[in-house]
Amino acid sequence: MNKSILKLNPCVNSVFGYYRTTFTTKHGRKVYLSISVSDDRCTITDCFYIDRNQNRIGFDRYSSKPLKLKTFEFPTDKLLCVIEEELDKKFYGIEYISDKTYDLPLEMYIAAKSKESFTKYRFLIFLGEGETHNGLPVRLHTRLKNQLHRSIYVDLAYYMNGQGVVNQCCYYDRRYKRQDIKITPPQLISVFFPYTNDGILNLINHEICCNFTHIIVTSGIDIDSNTTPLCGAV
């Protein structure tokens, strides 16, 4: 089994010992972490979830902080322990990697690292119905399992002026279905979105915690025949 190595990128302030990285926790959450190292002391200068609030702007985009993180300054040799205990990711070593992200602004750095993580095709499978708009049927619905391993039912439709609307989005776990309870994932804050492939992927990935790269639209599937997700972390 390959052991995870924490890969730290020096940034433009690295003359002062500044480093940054992104990683995925054992719960499927995507984290940005920046630290400064001075002598034998390490300080966490910033840490937030990058799979939340991506439709917001400014500081609001980076406002979702890990609540378990309480230790911000500690001996440098305790860095991996803090990450394991408070950020839910176990690393077995540290590697310092100088690459083209050295002088990238924060947003471009995160985008570059997110692009690196898409090394495989991950298909978001929809059942499509009705006429097409922008190459997509006017109704799309599916059952998926997100990176938090929650089963979710999603029903999207074309609205007007290039915009789509979320008709319904609710947990599809067995206990909710049995009790006929419809609970919307709290991370979903958008009602309207661009009705395009990119607009849908952005909505699903950033607000329902998924990592799909492409959309496949099919037909002839009885989506209510069972509770098995059609796609995602199955």
Percent share of the chain, pLDDT over 70:
88
- Model pLDDT, residue 234: 56
Q: How confident is the model at residue 1 (pLDDT cuts 50, 70, 90)?
A: very low
pTM for this one? 0.57
The pair phi, psi for residue 92, each rounded to 5°, is -110, 5
**Which residue would you say has higher pLDDT here, 193 or 55?**
193
pLDDT of residue 96: 87
Q: For residue 183, what pLDDT is reported? A: 87
Mean pLDDT, residues 38-52: 90
Query: Residue 167 — very low, low, confident or very high, per pLDDT cuts 50/70/90?
Result: very high
Lowest mean pLDDT, pick from 49-58, 106-115, 201-210: 49-58
- Predicted confidence at residue 3, as pLDDT, reads 67
